[in-house]
Chains A and B, each alone.
Chain A
Amino acid sequence: DTAVSQTPKYLVTQMGNDKSIKCEQNLGHDTMYWYKQDSKKFLKIMFSYNNKELIINETVPNRFSPKSPDKAHLNLHINSLELGDSAVYFCASSQDSSGSIDTQYFGPGTRLTVL
């Protein structure tokens, strides 16, 4: 009965590769988010989608492209991976689009390591 799930949990890949991280929520929420937690533990919003439409797009390189095939899924595709992309990526969802963090449910994270 996992609320927000992410696959894979761990991803190790070479520089220059293209990879995707998948996120699914079974809560019926309308809004989904991607956060990046870097090596210094800073957690920062990357993207937010509401009803499959992009509502937040922070200053993220355009190598990162979120895709929302439906309200329950928000996948993150990363092209031409770089060393600095190594981080833990968290998906979250909420019922409303206010972005208030206390309404967000977080997934367990995907640890991406770029070699």
Chain B
Amino acid sequence: DAGVIQSPRHEVTEMGQEVTLRCKPISGHDYLFWYRQTMMRGLELLIYFNNNVPIDDSGMPEDRFSAKMPNASFSTLKIQPSEPRDSAVYFCASSFSGGVSGYEQYFGPGTRLTVT
């Protein structure tokens, strides 16, 4: 398997622009997670899905952030409008809920977002 795929790997945009980050989880995995990593706050869970349904979005910082999972092989995280403080590395991770292995998360390489 190719692992979790994220695109783009790097994104530079201007404040106020819309940003869309994309994720393809590992085939067969039924959980998908979006994280944000910054030096100040470390690794933060933004939202997670189970079987394409959003379960907990309490980590989404503001209404400017939204996430969707239209099918089992694709998810997006959108920021509109973007602000400089959104600059971070955004990770997508997936897992399979087969017993204890559901706790083992597989991470993508991340998208480094810079908002100027």
Query: Do A and B truly interact?
Result: no
Chain A residues packing against B (C-beta within 8 Å)? none
Chain B residues packing against A (C-beta within 8 Å)? none
